[in-house]
Amino acid sequence: MNLLEKFDLLKEHAAKKIPHAESMDDLKAFEIHFLGRKGELATLMKGMAEAKSKDRPKLGKAANEVKTFITEHLDAKRLALLQASFADLIAAERADVTEPGIQPPQGSIHIVQKAIEEITEIFERAGFNRVRHPEVEWDWYTFEALNMPSDHPARDEWETFFMDAPISPKWGKMLLTPHATSGTARTLVHQKPPIRSINISKTYRRQVDVTHLPMFHQFDGLFLDEHVSVTNLLGIFDYFVKNFFGEDRKVRLRPFHFRFTEPSFELDVSCGICHGTGELDGGAKCRTCKRGWVELGGAGMLHPNVLKAAKIDPKKYTGLAFGFGIERTYMMKEGLQLDDIRLLYKNDLRFLTQF
């Protein structure tokens, strides 16, 4: 058998063996066997050295044809193996798009934020606009402008966090605002009458126990115009209480004292448990209110000194201010009998997801 016949025989042998490769490893083994440095083709080509000179070109051409033939068969089989591998992968990882997905946990708005949004919406319907003021405030807006000079004992009840910051000759010390009324002082200075505004903000006091938080939210409303009176105050709060707590709830004023209002009042709302009677069915005393009323917040007519501090003529304009704690108000609405107000901010989902 001459060398040309051996080349033809190698082609036939490769054409039969390569299709039987079942993996890339098998294919690599066939490639080494047929085309490797010590493979069958290389062995046959060594015999070309003994061929006659005139036959060598023909033998070289035949060797190249064999190499090309085997390479093409190897490439074809490699492509077939890859396609089969991808088909298996697709079949294994195919997703059924018609199958219902896994429902992710659904969050909810915090109950304090719900109260803020609801209160804001109620007062906006009455023509009040929401304003926002700094939480880090100056002593002047917090106390001086609200008729509390630096030596006045009324400052003590605010349990204030003062900042370790330079003192301003004009505005005094820097502090974390202990009440939203400091925002009312800013509004009076920076806006011209008539004014209808509400300020809902975080406030800070050095109090931590089951009924107090070092950070809580306060609401403060302001109505300034000519001829504003206590009657307006009663009308505004009657409107709010009926929209927030329910149509059957009532409002009353109790005389009180605040440095920035004169006259001053505490605002009470009829109890939603005993409906303002102080007694439950069967004659038992209501444990929620004791006497038929629950305290909501404070209010009053703006003190003339507060208007003067903002350079507003108290003989031309009168105003009223009113405020309350957001957390306390929402607890009154929902009838939450919490033994620790700090539960509102412990991020316990067992509690928060109920609202």
pLDDT at 264 (0 to 100): 96
231 pLDDT band, cuts 50/70/90, is: very high
Percentage of the chain beyond pLDDT 90 is: 46
pLDDT of 150 strictly over 70: yes
How far, in Å, are 111, 234, 322, 330 from residue 270 at the CA level?
Answer: 23, 14, 18, 15
Chain centre distance of CA 217:
18
305 pLDDT band, cuts 50/70/90, is: very high
Q: What angle do CA 11, 16, 18 make, to 5 degrees?
A: 90
Out of 89-98, 225-234, 321-330, the most confident range is 225-234
Tell me the pLDDT tens digit for each residue of 13-56. 888 888 888 888 888 888 888 888 888 888 878 777 777 777 77
Question: Which pair of tokens denotes residue 349?
Answer: 């989902």
Domain ranges of the chain: 3-93, 111-352
d(CA 179, CA 28): 80
Residue with token string 């209160």: 119
Would strands 195-204 and 129-131 be described as parallel, antiparallel, or unpaired?
parallel
CATH for 111-352 is 3.30.930.10
Averaged pLDDT score across all residues of the chain: 88
Tell me the pLDDT tens digit for each residue of 242-286. 999 989 899 999 999 999 999 999 999 998 888 888 888 777 888
Number of residues assigned to the chain = 355
pLDDT at 337 (0 to 100): 67
This prediction's pTM:
0.68
pLDDT of 294 strictly over 90: no
| Radius of gyration, alpha carbons of the chain | 44
Is residue 191 within 8 A of residue 197, CB to CB? The reply is yes
Instruction: List Cβ neighbours of 257 (8 Å cut-off, separation of 6 or more).
Output: 264
Between helices 3-17 and 56-93, what is the axis angle to 10°? Answer: 0
d(CA 293, CA 274): 9
**Which of 129, 116, 352, 99 minimizes the C-alpha distance to 216?**
116
Looking at residues 67-84, what average pLDDT do you find? 88
Higher pLDDT, 128 or 352: 128
Question: Which pair of tokens denotes residue 318?
Answer: 């009168």
pLDDT at 161 (0 to 100): 93
Higher pLDDT, 2 or 1: 2
Torsion angle of the four alpha carbons 345, 348, 350, 353, in this order, in degrees rounded to the nearest 10? 50
Name which of 5-9, 49-53, 170-174 the model is least confident about.
Answer: 49-53
Percentage of the chain beyond pLDDT 70 is: 98
pLDDT at 1 (0 to 100): 65
Tell me the pLDDT tens digit for each residue of 178-216. 999 999 999 999 999 999 999 999 999 988 887 788 999
